[in-house]
Amino acid sequence: MSAATTTLPWFVRFDDRAAAAHRMPELPPATVQLGLRIGLQAVEDLLATRHRVGPVLCCLVHHQVLVPVPAQAADRWHAPQSVCSPLMHCAAAPAGSRCHRLWLDPGRGSSTTTDSRALHDAYLARRGRHEAGHRPPASHFERRPALATGRPPAW
């Protein structure tokens, strides 16, 4: 799965109709910001297991997915390389940069927010799978084994 692909059907919205559902003046939702690839995979894992999932906002410039969650999740969110805040913007975006964003709505009577505890678990599970399968490239400063005398190099 590449950074901007998905395996499930989504309703794509380029306007603020999906955002209107998140404007609850008495208790505005918090927003979890994840990397686009791993974030979409985690959300799709939730959909596959029938957890509560609401619309998500994708920024194609900053490669981020912003997931509205219940407001109280901001105090409990502790996951590496992610942010949970009351703001709906790309935290990694430099000042003055523009986002190109679109809403993905799972449809099927979706909720206005995503279950934060389930998202946390799905995100950490995805991170674990990526880290287990990820092998960093060799460093230029890595020591190479000495060549045995009389043998041609293997490269």
pLDDT at 143: 44
Residues 6+ apart with CB under 8 A from 104: 6, 10, 11, 12, 13, 40, 55, 56, 57, 58
pLDDT 10s per residue in the chain (155 long)? Answer: 444 566 667 778 776 555 555 555 455 678 899 999 999 999 999 999 989 898 898 988 889 999 988 888 877 787 877 888 777 777 777 777 788 888 888 876 677 889 989 999 999 999 887 676 655 444 444 444 444 555 554 54
pLDDT at 26: 53
d(CA 16, CA 23): 11
Q: What is the value of pTM for the model shown? A: 0.70
The candidate with the shortest Cα–Cα distance to 120, out of 29, 26, 39, 21, is 39
Furthest-apart CA atoms within the chain: distance in Å: 78
pLDDT at 20: 55
* Helix, strand, coil share (%) of the chain residues, nearest 5: 25, 15, 55
